[in-house]
Amino acid sequence: MENVISVNGLVKSFGRTRALDGLDLEVRRGEVHGFLGPNGAGKSTAIRVLLGLLKADSGTTTLFGGDPWRDAVSLHRRLAYVPGDVTLWPNLTGGEVIDLLGRLRGGLDTKRRDELVERFELDPRKKGRTYSKGNRQKVALIAALASDAELLVLDEPTSGLDPLMESVFQSCVNDERGAGRTVLLSSHILAEAEALCDRVSIIRAGRTVESGTLAQLRHLTRTSIHAELAGEPNGIGALAGVHDLVVEGERVRFQVDNAELDTVLRALTTVGVRGLTSQPPTLEELFLRHYQKAEQADGPAGQAVPA
Amino acid sequence: MTGTWQLFRLNLRRDRVVLPLWTILLGLFPGLVASSFASLYPDPAELAEFAASMSNPSLTAVYGPIWSPSLGGMTSWRSSIVLLIVALATAFTVIRHTRAEEEQGRRELLGATVVGRGAGLAAALLVALLASAVVGGLTALGTAAAGADGTGSVALGLQYALACLLFGAIAAVVAQLTQGARTARWISGAVLIGAFLLRMLGDAGGDLNSPLSWISPIGFLQRIRPYADERWWVAGVVVLVVALLAAAAYRLNAVRDLDAGLIASRPGPARAPRALLSPLGLAWRLQRSTLFGWLIGYAVLGVFLGSATDAAVDAVKDSPDLGDVIGRLGGGASIADMVIAAGLAIMGIGAAGQGVQAALRARSEESALRAEPILAAAVGRTRWIGGHLLFAFFGPALGLLVAGVFLGIGYGTASGEGGGAIGRVTGAAAVQVPAVWFTVAIVVLLFGLLPRLTSLGWGVLAFFLLLGQLGAILQLSQWALDLSPFSHLPALPGGDLTVTPLVALVALAAVLTSVGLVGFRRRDLASGG
Ligand SMILES: Nc1ncnc2c1ncn2[C@@H]1O[C@H](COP(=O)(O)OP(=O)(O)OP(=O)(O)O)[C@@H](O)[C@H]1O
Ligand SMILES: [Mg+2]
């Protein structure tokens, strides 16, 4: 299938901060692609490189087969962007901003615009400085959704939206998918990603750590095991795929990679199992694992590296 | 007001470069002026003679009265332009730590922690107090060290410190009334210009007790009369006014909502007019009120200067000695032409300020992340910045034309020269344009190559202003004076029109601008990280 976005080994540093460190990303035509990762992982930076706002240090980035830095203007006619930090002009009304951004990207469907204003319950007559955070977000969202762009690039589009508006947003994105548009959606909200995304990429410290459909990612999760054994649980901690082992006499508690489940269970049965409970894997755990690793194993994302 | 001290330290940290820079440099100025007067005129009699030659209505209008022909008196007279600059700098500092903070939402972040409601305001005023102490202290020490009278130097230092505090307190009140930092800066600047104009009108009449000068905050401060029977009670009144203004700001701060001003904004149109729908349309929308403000200022100042020029010429006519002195200075130009040329030179600096302001708007749009959505649409970088640069280059040019026309009208009407004056004076005003463009081009260059330093543009402008105003007095060598583009302009009307420097300045401006634009097209856009 044709890729709308493909990024290979993208590197971007700000002084001594290496914000992107060999990022890979592929977004296929017509899919809703989730872009997930802890704070400071480099999501917004990657998006800005894709939009030609930042210049990559190395790596290849293609957008609709073109170079986002060189062909910025012509490529931008085919996409709509909602920034992570929406700031509006204090003296322009929300309605004016929607029309302005729509026009500058090459046109906007006024009927759709009015529909969206209604759906998101936005008062378009208020001045930029008087909008709340959520309402500023709505202005940018409406401007993007009312365009006829092939690709929507949304950087944490629902931050600040209330749950009702969040569900309006989700149904809008589903409409977009139905209309055959491609969406790149950066988010911290797992439920949102599960509800909307065909595929997701998880990044950490400027690198892609997982990428695939949600079903594929579920295979990467771990099962929690609580077991009461017949003897000392010697050597279990040394097995591959066992994590967070806690031993209390003959009781053990640990997590195991699904791929190693079979080997580990065999090891338990050789000791003798009196009782066993296991908890099915959840995506949330997978997420937290990636998010936590950022702090434990590798230190905070984007930390200074020797130049 | 829990947290005031912490916020004060935070403010100092954020200002750790800018604040020492301007307070120390500007605080040292009066002392430098005093020591060069001391070496230029070692004999008090000579100094008194010089003072006499300088007491004419047009110079009094610009600098204020000479209270005493002594070393200190002449220093305080000649440095009065620094008084205006420190007042404005303090006002902007206060706004930066109050309204601008709030506008950017940082105040909200702090407001949620254990920080009292008035702490932000109190901390900003403490910074103003510190700035005023440094400026005032250095002024007093510097002038006294150069040999000026001690008591007078204390009074002069007090005058500078009070100018800082007064305009800091005015800015604190304004910052509560408006919703945007930009409007607050604009209003504070207008108050300062208004105060200056009032004093100018009052003093130009030759009456040192004109009510116009007394009601002008600047005129009032100057009536402390350093080095000439100091009127300490005037300083006392200013202290009282500062306290009242600070209390008013505090009270307003307590009654309004966070992020709201007392001047509320009304709803606007739900749809954009066609005229807005382009980068140029947006720039027009963002820049137009500022442009109109400048144009009105030029027109008013032009008419005023035009008519004051004629009054000055009359005054000189009555005193043949003075006419001689000025005639010698001007080398053949008529007195009227000289006064007009001096007025236009000041307007030229003003116009450069207008251009710098308009160009910096592009940078503030970028750092506020408002350029990002535009550039993520189908708009190239040159096209985006082009909208703003149009205002940066052609706004001041238009302004100078307006200034010239109105100065011509004012002078032509008052002197009876009539319409002929308009063409002559407008042409002379247009001569300032190349120097203005050169100054703006430096800002564009910074914007393209060293974007974080773009606001140094103000420093460059202040440097040119000080070189032009004080360079000769400080006996700087010619190459130093030549650093300012304004020094290369022919003195018109009256002098000879030399085209070469004008063409050279325009060409240099074009080169700097092009390099800046290429730099901007190649660099990262600010992403606020
Ligand atoms: N202009 C900049 N200058 C310096 N460092 C920057 C800049 N922009 C981003 N960074 C750094 O790059 C790293 C990645 O930031 P980025 O904003 O891309 O993260 P993110 O994944 O979008 O995070 P979040 O979820 O918080 O939005 C961070 O360490 C950040 O501090
Ligand atoms: Mg981000």
Q: Are residues B140 and B40 both part of a single domain?
A: yes
| A52-56, A77-81, A225-229, B507-511: least confidently modelled range | A225-229
User: What SS3 state is found at A227?
Assistant: strand
Cα(A209)–Cα(B189) distance, integer angstroms: 54
A282 pLDDT more than 80: no
The reply to whether B270 falls in a domain is: no
Structural domain boundaries enclosing B253: 1-264
Q: Which amino acid is at B393?
A: F
Q: Are residues B245 and B312 both part of a single domain?
A: no
Cα(B82)–Cα(B198) distance, integer angstroms: 18
B448 pLDDT more than 70: yes
Closest CA relative to residue B386, chosen from B371, B399, B401: B371
Task: Report the pLDDT averaged over residues B61-65.
Answer: 84
- Give how far Cα A1 sits from Cα of A26, A28, A29, A32, Å: 11, 7, 7, 14
pLDDT in tens, B188-244: 998 998 899 889 888 877 778 888 899 999 999 999 999 999 999 999 999 999 999
Ligand 1 pocket, residue A41 CB under 6 Å: yes
Q: Are residues B294 and B330 both part of a single domain?
A: yes
Closest CA relative to residue B438, chosen from B493, B521, B504: B504
Q: Are residues B6 and B155 both part of a single domain?
A: yes
Residue from A10, A17, A47 whose mutation best tests the ligand 1 pocket (most atoms within 8 A of CB): A17
Helix/strand/coil percent split, chain B, to 5: 75, 0, 25
A289 pLDDT more than 60: yes
Q: Which pLDDT does position B318 carry in this prediction?
A: 61
**Confidence band for A298, pLDDT divided at 50, 70 and 90:** very low
Please give the mean pLDDT across all residues of chain B.
Answer: 88
Ligand 1 pocket, residue A233 CB under 6 Å: no
B468 pLDDT more than 70: yes
Q: Are residues B257 and B398 both part of a single domain?
A: no
Q: Are residues B192 and B298 both part of a single domain?
A: no
**Confidence band for B119, pLDDT divided at 50, 70 and 90:** confident
Provide the angle, in degrees to the nearest 10, between the axes of the packed helices B320-330 and B335-367: 60
User: What SS3 state is found at A156?
Assistant: coil
Q: Is the peptide bond before B226 cis (omega within 30 degrees of 0)?
A: no
Closest CA relative to residue A181, chosen from A79, A81, A75: A79
**Which of B264, B286, B312 is the endpoint of a domain?**
B264
**Confidence band for B180, pLDDT divided at 50, 70 and 90:** confident
The reply to whether B272 falls in a domain is: no
Q: Six-digit token pair at A138?
A: 């709505």
Number of domains observed in the structure of chain B: 2
Cβ atoms A294, A205 nearer than 8 A: yes
**Confidence band for B106, pLDDT divided at 50, 70 and 90:** low
**Confidence band for A184, pLDDT divided at 50, 70 and 90:** very high
Task: Report the pLDDT averaged over residues A179-185.
Answer: 95
DSSP B233-255: HHHHHHHHHHHHHHHHHHHHHHH
B475 pLDDT more than 50: yes
pLDDT in tens, A222-279: 788 898 988 887 788 888 888 888 888 888 888 888 788 888 888 888 888 999 988 7
Q: Which pLDDT does position A74 carry in this prediction?
A: 94
pLDDT in tens, A185-210: 999 888 888 889 999 999 999 999 88
pLDDT in tens, B314-352: 666 666 665 565 555 554 567 788 888 888 988 999 999
Determine, for residues B277 and A103 on separate chains, whether the beta-carbon distance falls below 8 Å: yes
Same fold, A3-217 and A220-298: no
User: Where do the domains of chain A lie?
Assistant: 3-217, 220-298
Cα(B412)–Cα(B337) distance, integer angstroms: 12
Minimum CA–CA partner of A57 in chain B: B524
Cβ atoms A99, B271 nearer than 8 A: yes
**C-beta neighbour count of B280 within 10 angstroms:** 17
Residue to mutate among A16, A54, A87, with most B CBs inside 10 A, is A87
Task: Report the pLDDT averaged over residues B471-499.
Answer: 86
Q: Which pLDDT does position A300 carry in this prediction?
A: 40
Q: Are residues B253 and B104 both part of a single domain?
A: yes
**Which of B200, B231, B264 is the endpoint of a domain?**
B264
> Is the pTM higher than 0.90?
no
**Which of B264, B296, B317 is the endpoint of a domain?**
B264
CB crowding B136-157: b at 16 or more within 10 Å, else e:
bebbbbbbbebebbeebbbbbb
ipTM: 0.82
The reply to whether B489 falls in a domain is: yes
In chain B, positions 261-290, which contact chain A (CB-CB < 8 Å)? 265, 267-272, 276-279, 282, 285-286
DSSP B261: -
The reply to whether B145 falls in a domain is: yes
Q: Are residues B132 and B231 both part of a single domain?
A: yes
Q: Are residues B314 and B394 both part of a single domain?
A: yes
The reply to whether B271 falls in a domain is: no
Of A48, A106, A124, the CB nearest to B378: A106
Question: What is A220-298's CATH number?
Answer: 3.30.70
CATH homologous superfamily for A3-217? P-loop containing nucleotide triphosphate hydrolases (3.40.50.300)
**Confidence band for B123, pLDDT divided at 50, 70 and 90:** very high
The reply to whether B326 falls in a domain is: yes
Q: Which amino acid is at A121?
A: E
Q: Which pLDDT does position A306 carry in this prediction?
A: 39
Ligand 1 pocket, residue A45 CB under 6 Å: yes
Q: Are residues B253 and B296 both part of a single domain?
A: no
Please name the residue that has the structure tokens 């493909």.
Answer: A6
Q: Which amino acid is at B467?
A: L
B140 pLDDT more than 90: yes
User: What SS3 state is found at A35?
Assistant: strand
Helix extents (H) in B98-179 = 99-103, 106-111, 119-145, 150-177
The reply to whether B409 falls in a domain is: yes
Q: Closest ligand 1 atom to the C-alpha of B526?
A: 1
Query: B254: Cβ–Cβ under 8 A, 6 or more apart, which residues?
Result: B117, B118
Q: How many CB pairs under 8 A join A and B?
A: 118
Q: Are residues B255 and B281 both part of a single domain?
A: no
Task: Report the pLDDT averaged over residues B483-505.
Answer: 89
Query: B44: Cβ–Cβ under 8 A, 6 or more apart, which residues?
Result: B70, B71
